[in-house]
Amino acid sequence: MIEWIISILLLVGGCFILVGSIGLVKMPDFFMRLHGPTKASTLGMALLLISAMMLLSSTQETLSVKEILISLFLLLTAPISAYMMIKSAIHHKLESIERTTGKDNIEDDV
């Protein structure tokens, strides 16, 4: 029974990571490209780490908390690195396509 749960979590996590990388390649400009890896890949990593924790806890009869530490660290640091990257993109004044809205709200760089 727990093997089925681990397998489903692994497959869903792998699909999320793959979708994030496809979005990184296929999206037209940087402001759209940032969405794929910072959201989908992070969620896929969290699912994969939860499945690893379940597998090792079921085989070794002890609760392993290192995976929770890694997934918490990734979930905390992904928004910060995305913020730093979007700051550097605004600083470099990257061009965007027509449909990207909200660029008028950007204040002048300090």
Partner 1 sequence: MLEIVILIVFAMIGLSLLLNLWRLLIGPSIPDRILALDTMYINTIALIILYGMSMGTELYFEAALLIAMLGFVSTVAICKYLLRGDIIE
Residues binding partner 1 (CB under 8 A): 3-4, 6-7, 10-11, 13-15, 17-18, 20-22, 24-25, 30, 33-34, 37, 41-42, 44-45, 48-49, 51-52, 55-56, 59-60, 64, 66-67, 69-70, 73-74, 77, 80-81, 84-85, 87-89, 91-92, 94
- Please, are residues 30 and 94 in contact by the beta-carbon 8 Å criterion? yes
For partner 1, the closer of residues 84 and 106 by Cβ is 84
Burial track 52-75 (b if 16+ CB lie within 10 A, e otherwise): bbbbeeeeeeeeeeebeeebeeee
